Every structure is written in structure tokens, then in C-alpha cells.
Copies of this chain bind each other. A is one copy, B any other.
Amino acid sequence: MATTRWLDEREMAAWTAFLEASHRVFRVVEQQLKEDAGLSHPQYEILVKLAAAGDAGLRMTELAESLITSKSGLTYQIGQLEKRGLVARGACPTDVRGVMATLTEEGTRKLREAAPGHVTCVRETLIDGLDRAQLAVLAEALGDISARLREKNA
């Protein structure tokens, strides 16, 4: 293998900033959700995705991919949310093996209850600390990175 192209100062700064910001932001968000709504961030994200999916809900595999988590991990979390009555499992119309996860009434209520605090936290932690230009670059740059990885592992 050719000699490694190490990161120069600029690149290293970007990587470590990305690393640290991710860790810190997620930690804060996790904390806020747990305290104010009794939800973990993964659980909150499940509710959001299901809410966006409407009454039909989403198949387990779709949901897992969309959340960038393992299928077994999702099975576990859906189980937890189902126990709490926030999510329901249903049959898939087009595939007997399929499982449709849907938001219950109470799940919808829970999400509505949790959303304001979460959004405020995201604002305070990340969004409001950036100006318009930074926000735009962040969205585009990281959006591209995401899209690339999404396709690569498709």
C-alpha cells in the first residue's frame, strides 16, 4: 500500500471538531429527552419517522435503514415502545413476513409532548450557535457525505 496521506492541520481540526461536536451534542440531546420525556434519542427518532410515515406505518427493515441501526436493535426498541403503548405492530399487506410499525394515538401524543423541548434543545445546542452561511454549508456538505454513504452501503 502507498504511503498514508495523513491529515494536515486543517483536516485534523475538521475531523476532531466533528468528533467532539457529535459526542457532545448527542449527549446533551439524550439527556434532555430522557429527563423531560422519558425517551432515548433512538426512541424519539423512531416516533418521528413513524409520524412522518402516516397511518400506514413503516416496515421494520425500512425503518431500521432509515434510522441507521441494526434490525435486531430495532426489534428491541419497537418492543420497548410497544410495551409502553406508543407504537403498534401490524401485518404487512403485501408480505406475510413483513411487520408494519405504526404510531398509536398515545405515541402521537407523546411525540407532540416531547417535540417542543427537543427542538429547543437542538436549537440551543447546535442550530442557534451557527450563522446562516455556516448552516447552509453544514447542510450541504454533510448532506452530500450522507448521500454518498447511503448509496455506497445500499
**Footprint of B on A, CB under 8 Å?**
1, 4-7, 10-11, 13-15, 17-18, 20-28, 68, 115-116, 119-120, 122-123, 125-127, 129-130, 132-146, 148-150, 153
Contact = CB atoms under 8 A, between A and B. Distances in A.
Given A134-B141, A137-B137, A14 B146 contact: no
Contacts of A15: 122, 126-127
Contact of A145 (B68, B115, B129, B143): B129
A96 B125 CA distance: 37
Given A7-B123, A145-B129, A139 B14 contact: yes
A129 to B, nearest CB: 5
